[in-house]
Every structure is written in structure tokens, then in C-alpha cells.
């Protein structure tokens, strides 16, 4: 008996979900052994951690809205609730080794909502490019001390601004070039400048909120957070970008923690022991914060499927 496409798709979803749970659990278990003994001496400031968590959730909402705005350029409007579900669930793919699973899952789920998979994945890539550009600008502005070369920071900032200003004109030919490279005919999107500016604004605010949340998390972990807010923004943004561009580490695992601890030590935000503790604990915290909304969407989807009619 032939297996229906719907059955195959459902089976693929379960396999994907199982893989995500396995790799996420493995990464959490591996890190817990390193921080377990140190945590017994920590007096958690749960108020600060709760506020930090709220800021992270607001950051997710900003990123989702930025993605939606770029998606409109492909004439593919998506409601915020659908966009949120697709964004959270597809984002789980980053916990599986390999850098293609998030975009693949995003394309598949977008098609289930009547949206072109190419439009969903393409708009996500554009959003990531804008986020990386604004992140580099944020590091240049807030982390001149981290870079150690103010003139280099100024040059980076100038290049980023020039790139964002020319993005509406450069993206269509860039899409066509990528299509030829892939051997596919891709329709270049006429992305309105307003979409790029909105994505730039949401990305910039997201990096700032991430940095503020990280400072509050450090305060909740260590009881205080020495140093300037700008340093925390620079440290977190730089570490996140390094983890993101890592070609092999799932979700930047290991790369981000090493960079975060090293930068905190260099800028005098913590000693080596506390910096290592914060870096690993931050990974645990952010993993849970990201998995909880995803789990809610998975549970809601299972509930809908179980309802009659």
C-alpha cells in the first residue's frame, strides 16, 4: 500500500523533533557537569533573571516582525501568529549539526501556510544578513575597547552603514547571482527600502535588548554586574556572531561560550572562573527560554490534530 505524502511529512516531523530533543538534551547534559558544583555556591537573583527573560522574549518578537516585513517583499504576507510558530519551530533546527536544517524546516512549514518555501527561506537569509551587519555595527560602536583599534571600529561602522543604504539595490542582483550559482531560476525580490530600514531597526534593538538581558542575567548570577552596559552589549553581540558563523558547531555551541568568557575577562566584567560560569549558565538559560515557546507550539499542534473534525 502506498504511503501518503501527508504520512511521510508527519513522520519526518517526528524524526526532526526527536533529533532536536536528542541534540539539545546532549548539549545541556554536557554543560551541566561543568557548572553543577559551582552553582551550589550561587545565590540566584531571580528577579533579575526574570526581567532578563522577558527582554529576550521581546527580542524574539522584534526579530519575528523584522522577518515578516522582509517576507512581504516576496508578496508573501504571513500573520504574526503563523510567523511566530514557523520561526520558533524552524529555529530548533540549529541544535542539529549542520547549518541547513532551520531553513529547510522553515521552507516546509511555510508551504503548509500557502507561502513559497523559497520566499520564507530567502527572507530569513536577508534578515540574517541584516542582523549580522547591524551586529557588527553594534560591536564597533560599543566595543572599541574590545577590538582594541578605534579606527578599525570606525571603518567597520562605515562599511556597514554603506551596505545597508545600498541593500535595496544590491539584493535583487545578488539573488539572481545566487540562483545561477545554485542552477535555479530565482525571482529577484524588489525589496522596498522601508522593509530594510524596519529590519535594520528591529535587528539593532534586538542586539541592544540581548545585551541588556545578558547584563541582568549576570547580575542575577553573580549578585552584581560591574562594568558599563555598552560592554555587555559588545561582549554578547560579538560572541553570538562568532557562534552563528561557526560552520560546524550546532547553535554556536562551544564557540559562543569560549568567546563570551574570554571577552568578559578581557573587559574586566568578571574573573576567569565567574566568566566561565556565566557563559555556560547563559547557554543553559537561553536554551530553555527558546525551547519553552517551541514546546508550547508543538503541544498546541498536537492538541489540534487530536480534536475531532
DSSP letter assigned to residue 228: -
Closest Cα partner for 207 from 13, 85, 55?
Answer: 55
- At 27 the pLDDT is 53
Number of continuous H segments (helices) and E segments (strands) in the chain: 11, 0
Contact between 140 and 147 (Cβ < 8 Å):
yes
- At 215 the pLDDT is 96
Using the Cα atoms of residue 246, residue 252, residue 254 and residue 260 in order, give the sign of their dihedral.
Answer: positive
- At 307 the pLDDT is 47
Residues of the chain with pLDDT under 50: 1-2, 182, 306-309
CA distances from 130 to 2, 125, 171, 274 (A): 45, 9, 11, 33
How many Å is the Cα radius of gyration of the chain?
Answer: 20
- At 58 the pLDDT is 94
Q: pLDDT, tens digit, for every residue of 73-86?
A: 776 778 888 888 88
Instruction: Indicate the domain borders of the chain.
Output: 45-297
> For cell 556572531, what's the residue?
241
Between CA 109 and CA 92 the distance in angstroms is 13
- At 309 the pLDDT is 45
Between CA 195 and CA 212 the distance in angstroms is 26
Q: What is the pTM of this model?
A: 0.77
- At 243 the pLDDT is 83
DSSP letter assigned to residue 72: G
Amino acid at each position: 500500500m502506498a504511503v501518503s505524502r501527508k504520512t511521510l511529512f508527519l513522520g519526518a516531523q517526528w524524526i526532526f523533533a526527536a533529533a532536536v530533543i536528542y541534540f539539545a538534551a546532549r548539549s545541556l547534559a554536557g554543560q551541566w557537569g561543568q557548572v553543577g558544583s559551582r552553582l551550589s555556591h550561587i545565590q540566584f537573583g531571580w528577579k533579575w533573571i526574570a526581567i532578563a527573560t522577558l527582554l529576550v522574549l521581546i527580542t524574539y518578537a522584534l526579530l519575528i516582525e523584522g522577518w515578516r516585513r522582509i517576507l512581504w517583499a516576496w508578496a508573501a504576507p504571513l500573520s504574526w501568529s503563523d510567523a511566530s510558530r514557523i520561526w520558533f519551530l524552524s529555529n530548533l533546527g540549529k541544535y542539529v549539526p549542520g547549518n541547513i536544517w532551520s531553513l529547510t524546516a522553515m521552507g516546509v512549514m511555510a508551504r503548509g501556510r500557502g507561502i513559497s518555501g523559497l520566499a520564507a527561506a530567502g527572507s530569513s537569509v536577508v534578515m540574517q544578513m541584516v542582523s549580522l551587519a547591524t551586529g557588527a555595527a553594534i560591536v564597533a560602536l560599543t566595543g572599541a575597547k574590545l577590538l582594541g583599534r578605534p579606527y578599525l571600529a570606525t571603518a567597520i561602522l562605515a562599511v556597514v552603514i554603506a551596505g545597508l543604504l545600498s541593500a535595496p539595490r544590491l539584493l535583487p542582483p545578488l539573488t539572481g547571482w545566487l540562483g545561477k550559482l545554485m542552477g535555479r531560476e530565482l525571482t529577484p525580490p524588489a525589496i522596498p527600502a522601508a522593509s530594510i530600514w524596519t529590519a535594520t531597526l528591529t535587528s539593532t534593538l534586538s542586539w541592544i535588548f540581548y545585551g541588556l538581558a545578558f547584563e541582568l542575567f549576570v547580575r542575577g548570577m553573580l549578585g552584581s554586574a560591574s562594568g558599563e552596559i555598552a560592554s555587555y552589549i559588545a561582549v554578547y553581540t560579538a560572541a553570538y556572531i562568532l557562534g552563528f558563523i561557526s560552520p560546524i558547531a550546532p547553535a554556536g555551541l562551544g564557540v559562543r561560550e569560549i568567546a563570551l568568557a574570554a571577552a568578559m575577562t578581557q573587559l574586566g566584567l568578571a574573573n576567569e572562573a565567574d566568566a566561565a560560569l556565566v557563559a555556560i549558565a547563559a547557554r543553559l538559560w537561553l536554551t530553555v527560554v527558546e525551547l519553552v515557546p517551541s514546546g508550547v507550539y508543538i503541544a498546541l499542534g498536537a492538541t489540534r490534530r487530536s480534536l475531532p473534525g
